[in-house]
Amino acid sequence: MLAHRDLVRVATLAARRAAEHIRAAAGSLGPQRWDQKAPRDFVSEVDRGAERLIREALLSAYPDSLIMGEELSPDAAPPAGASPLLWIVDPLDGTANFLHRYPWYAVSIAAVRDGSLEVGVVLDIPRDILYTAAAGDGAWAAGQRLAVSTIADPSFSLIGTGFPFRTPELLPRYLRHFCGISGQVSGIRRAGSASLDLVDVALGRFDGFWELSLAPWDIAAGTLIVREAGGVVTDLAESPEVLRHGSIVAGNPAMHRWLIGILGQ
């Protein structure tokens, strides 16, 4: 079994190289240089360049591993019966924020073997804060162990969310969820980077988080960080298997239970 510390080290190196590339381009891309993968879903040469740098760093250290990256290899998966190391990579989580110079975006890298998350790394690029987790070893930032909040009363809670902008057919369902939650909590926030939203759950800034439509690269690293900080992450059906396209509900144990109950009504 690969040592967690080595996986974290390599993922951190890859994330920092990508972050340097992204910072160097910040504020330089006008709308004429944005590409649309789908309506309201933008990508740029910066995303693709960052993913290439991440691939080079990861494959240099682990040449037999596979990479599922949002921009260059979104469909990568181990062949049936095989169990190579799989990296799940979002080179720039929060592209729209980056393109509009809104300072809330990150690099997200997770390592998975046999379907289980081994390590997760999220690098908050504007603030240069690194968050890491390894299975069974906790979640950390700057030498401090992360822990989810202890708030159990929804009226005191702050909840994070994400809008289904790629899947507008889910908007009526989302609005019902929003109405059911907003009247019972102290506030709801939407910042536009799922990996950082999950980090905020792990930090105890958010007491819970939900979104209806995310991809594996959006949430892989953040999921492990939340779980290693004592939180719970499932889909709406309460399955812990979230490394696929679909919904996610995260929070401290009490708020996760409450969110599942509200969202299921």
- pLDDT tens digits, one per residue of 56-81: 999 999 999 999 998 777 777 765 55
Element (H, E) at 12: helix 4-25
Task: Give SS3 for 26.
Answer: coil
Number of residues assigned to the chain: 265
Residues 48 and 66 in one domain: yes
Residues 62 and 119 in one domain: yes
What is the CATH classification number for the domain harbouring 232?
Answer: 3.40.190.80
29-51 confidence digits (pLDDT tens)? 655 454 555 554 445 688 889 99
Residues 83 and 104 in one domain: yes
Residue that finishes a domain, picked among 103, 122, 145? 145
182-212 confidence digits (pLDDT tens)? 999 999 999 999 999 999 999 999 999 999 9
Q: Is the dihedral of CA 255, 223, 15, 41 positive or negative?
A: negative
Q: Which residue range(s) make up the domain with 166? A: 154-263
Share of the chain above pLDDT 90, in %: 81
- Predicted local distance difference test score (pLDDT) of residue 74: 74
- Predicted local distance difference test score (pLDDT) of residue 32: 44
Residues 131 and 177 in one domain: no
Rounded Cα distance between 70 and 92, Å, is 9
In the block, residue with structure tokens 């890859």: 14
- Predicted local distance difference test score (pLDDT) of residue 36: 55
Residues 16 and 141 in one domain: yes
Residue 95 reports pLDDT greater than 70: yes
Rounded Cα distance between 207 and 201, Å, is 6
- Predicted local distance difference test score (pLDDT) of residue 83: 66
Residues 221 and 132 in one domain: no
Residues 134 and 24 in one domain: yes
- Predicted local distance difference test score (pLDDT) of residue 75: 76
Residues 141 and 103 in one domain: yes
Residues 19 and 133 in one domain: yes
Residues 233 and 131 in one domain: no
- Give the amino acid at 252: N
Rounded Cα distance between 252 and 14, Å, is 30
Residues 125 and 159 in one domain: no
What is the CATH classification number for the domain harbouring 13?
Answer: 3.30.540.10
Residues 141 and 23 in one domain: yes
pTM strictly above 0.75: yes
Domain count, the chain: 2
